[in-house]
Structure 1
Amino acid sequence: MTRTTIGAMCLLSGIIIGQLIQCRSDQASSAASVSEQSDTTSERRAVDPIRIVSTAEEATIALFENAAPSVVYITTTTVRQDYWSRNVYEIPAGTGSGFIWDDKGNIVTNYHVIQGAYRAKVTLSDQTSWDAEIAGIEPRKDLAVLKIKASSNLKPIPIGTSHDLKVGQSVFAIGNPFGLDQTLTTGVISALGREIESAAQIPIRDVIQTDAAINPGNSGGPLLDISGRLIGVNTAIVSPSGTYAGIGFSVPVDVVNWVVPDLIKFGEVRRPVLGAEFVQQQIIDRMELKGALVMAVAPGSGAENGGLQPTRKSSDGEFIMGDLIIEVNDEPIESNNDLFLTLEKYKPGEQIRLKVKRKQQTANLTITLGSSL
């Protein structure tokens, strides 16, 4: 190989190596540029300032912050005996919600929340827990009162009214669905005047229907109006799955407000009574009668003093049908339940007017109501 050829080859190799070095330098420069851009774009975004977009949102926040300290979380336990060892164990029974009625430690909830419980515990919004005693129960309205001896300051829930509610009003439910405490849901009043069955298998009338989400664990919690006032106690839902389906029911506060004081004072409701016993509804239905048929009248009762006639036998052994009550203060009565629920609107000692069917005629009577206690 000549020197000229070797020189040419060396020159060519130098050119190629130079180009490779330049290419790698360009690639490194490009990578550095990309890295710089990447570093710039990976910086944290600036936080936008919070903006409450409407007075409605502000009102909801204020409502929750004001009402939440009045809502409590209730847990219950029951006891079970081991079949073989005969040892008795305390096991969780259920959870529910409630609210502070007064600063004396009275807590309102549903009867079915504490039904059959061996022990109940109330947890306040500050996460302190207190053993609770049952102060009173009213299965017919699915209401109960628990008593705690809390040392902390208790904030009673504001009380509203339910007789003047309107369909479409905004409502707010606070409770502990599935054990998730202090949960707020919102909705509207979907309907009024509904009827549901209580734990005592007696209808609860004038119930509030709402689409605010109510789930297991919400029972016993408050339903509030836009002012944060109690208008109902969340009690039941309609759902094939047992969870929220858009239909919830609340016992109206007007009922709560006359039941709870009696539960606190007497442990049960002081009901007005006529002082009469009535024929079973199944028999009345078979007789195709509309009303409450009097079977017996208690001696010295308001019914006897007012002239209410019982069912009795004649001298020749034939039954003489007693008075059939068809109206109370001009309100129609078609069944025993109608009579019982209508009487709940009055207090012991008040006078009521009865219209009765007696044989083929009607009679008007004035009765002074007695007390169940």
Structure 2
Amino acid sequence: MSQRLLILLLAALFSTGGAGAQTKAQPRATTARGALDAEELNNIGVFKRVSPSVVHITTLSVQRDFFSLRTSEQPSGTGTGFIWDDAGHVVTNFHVIQGGDRATVTLNDQSSFPAKLVGAYPDRDIAVLRIEAPHEKLPAIAVGASRDLQVGQKVYAIGNPFGLDQTLTTGIVSALNREIESVTRRTIKGAIQTDAAINPGNSGGPLLDSAGRLIGVNTAIYSPSGASAGIGFAIPVDEVNRIVPRLIRDGRFIRPALGVTAGPENLAKALGAPKGVLLVNVADASPAAAAGLKPFGRDRSGRIVQGDVITSVDGQAVADLDDMLSLLETRQIGEKVTLTVWRAGQTRKVVATLGSSD
């Protein structure tokens, strides 16, 4: 028997089920399951309650054709945000809208609205937009607290990773008080680290606790590939809740200031000064000048004239200018602060009334 004939006979045998009987193929019966467990029910409940407050943000940039000089709008980026109040304020990351000429906000029901920039604070990577939408479409997110978070707490992230809107991921608080860098290269202190999957497009979205309350704004991931590697960071909500009202009220964040300029860290080492804010300039008529602070300088012969180093603010140590600016941001213009000041080996305390950074 030839090989070709054998193959044909085998094919015919298998196609008829071996005995000419037709193979029976019916849908499988489904297996009943019990009730969802408590964790699953909470996951579902949190998503149903909070997802209507989460929005998709698309930024557009105007591009001009080199030859025709015609302009067109092209998508330049996407991200996530959340509804802050029923006045239409939407909070997101500054880097989500950075470089865009226009932004569009898409709500949970897929309706879209043009957004206007209300204010931004790049040092903390926070921006506030505003849309004109019916109040019933603007359920404000519930705001929690970050000061009492504990490592191990359950967290949720809702966002639009890779443009896939309304995506829920879960995880835990992996660590607290991390430091990350903002777009201005200022340090954002107190960041929340989480292993909830955060990918490009999640930026600006809410990090939630198990009660569905906002505890942070997802802002960065640590990943060599650019995708989630189980290390994400969020700006703590206590910081957000301090900055956003000022942006809504003033359109910008005006930092309380002392009116000083600090020298570099290596200068402090060279001069044998302690860690702190070494003053190289004190502005005339500034809060620092009124408090009697003096900068380092040189006399006519070129010798160093001892100045002041601010080592703490209201009893909290400051290792450098960034530390001091972060502390001053938590105060109000016109508020009095007690400074611990070092000069020529002597330490003293002075009281200064904070002015405006403008």
TM superposition score normalised by structure 2: 0.89
- Compared CA separation, residues 282 and 151, structure 1 to 2 (3 A): farther
- Compared CA separation, residues 80 and 189, structure 1 to 2 (3 A): same
1:196 aligned to 2:180? yes
- Compared CA separation, residues 89 and 282, structure 1 to 2 (3 A): farther
Who is 1:211 aligned against?
195
| Equivalent AA in structure 2 for residue 201 of structure 1 | R
Q: SS of the counterpart of 1:72?
A: strand
1:133 aligned to 2:116? yes
Q: Structure 2: where are the runs of 5+ without partners?
A: 1-15
| Equivalent AA in structure 1 for residue 116 of structure 2 | E
Who is 1:65 aligned against?
48
| Equivalent AA in structure 2 for residue 161 of structure 1 | A
Who is 2:241 aligned against?
257
TM superposition score normalised by structure 1: 0.86
Q: Assess if the C-alpha contact under 8 Å between 1:52 and 1:58 holds in 2.
A: no
Q: Assess if the C-alpha contact under 8 Å between 1:189 and 1:210 holds in 2.
A: yes
Who is 1:82 aligned against?
65
* Aligned positions, number: 339
Instruction: Provide the rounded CA distance (Å) in 2 between the counterparts of 1:338 and 1:212.
Output: 29
How far the C-alpha of 1:90 sits from its partner, in A, is 1.7
Q: SS of the counterpart of 2:284?
A: coil
Who is 1:366 aligned against?
351
Q: Assess if the C-alpha contact under 8 Å between 2:158 and 2:166 holds in 1.
A: yes
Partner of residue 227 from structure 1, selected from 211, 214, 234:
211
Partner of residue 178 from structure 1, selected from 147, 151, 162:
162
Partner of residue 356 from structure 1, selected from 341, 353, 358:
341
Q: SS of the counterpart of 2:254?
A: coil
Q: Assess if the C-alpha contact under 8 Å between 1:281 and 1:336 holds in 2.
A: no
- Compared CA separation, residues 360 and 286, structure 1 to 2 (3 A): closer
Who is 1:98 aligned against?
81
Q: SS of the counterpart of 2:281?
A: strand
Q: Any residues of structure 2 matched to 1:18-33 within 5 Å, and which? A: none
1:169 aligned to 2:126? no
Q: SS of the counterpart of 1:173?
A: strand
Give per-residue Cα distances to partners, 1:193-234, cap 9 Å, x unaligned.
Answer: 100000000000000000000000000000000000000000
Q: Assess if the C-alpha contact under 8 Å between 1:168 and 1:188 holds in 2.
A: yes
How far the C-alpha of 1:79 sits from its partner, in A, is 2.0
| Equivalent AA in structure 2 for residue 84 of structure 1 | F
Partner of residue 56 from structure 1, selected from 39, 45, 50:
39
How far the C-alpha of 1:286 sits from its partner, in A, is 5.0
Q: Assess if the C-alpha contact under 8 Å between 2:279 and 2:309 holds in 1.
A: yes
Give per-residue Cα distances to partners, 1:109-131, cap 9 Å, x unaligned.
Answer: 00000001011000000100000
Higher helix share: 1
Q: Structure 1: where are the runs of 5+ without partners?
A: 1-26
How far the C-alpha of 1:80 sits from its partner, in A, is 2.3
How far the C-alpha of 1:371 sits from its partner, in A, is 2.6
How far the C-alpha of 1:319 sits from its partner, in A, is 4.1
Q: CA RMSD in A?
A: 2.0
| Equivalent AA in structure 2 for residue 342 of structure 1 | L
Which one has the largest radius of gyration?
Answer: 1
| Equivalent AA in structure 2 for residue 270 of structure 1 | I
Who is 2:250 aligned against?
266
Who is 2:292 aligned against?
307
| Equivalent AA in structure 1 for residue 98 of structure 2 | Q
1:142 aligned to 2:128? no
How far the C-alpha of 1:258 sits from its partner, in A, is 0.5
1:248 aligned to 2:232? yes
- Compared CA separation, residues 359 and 252, structure 1 to 2 (3 A): same
1:336 aligned to 2:321? yes
| Equivalent AA in structure 2 for residue 299 of structure 1 | D
1:160 aligned to 2:144? yes
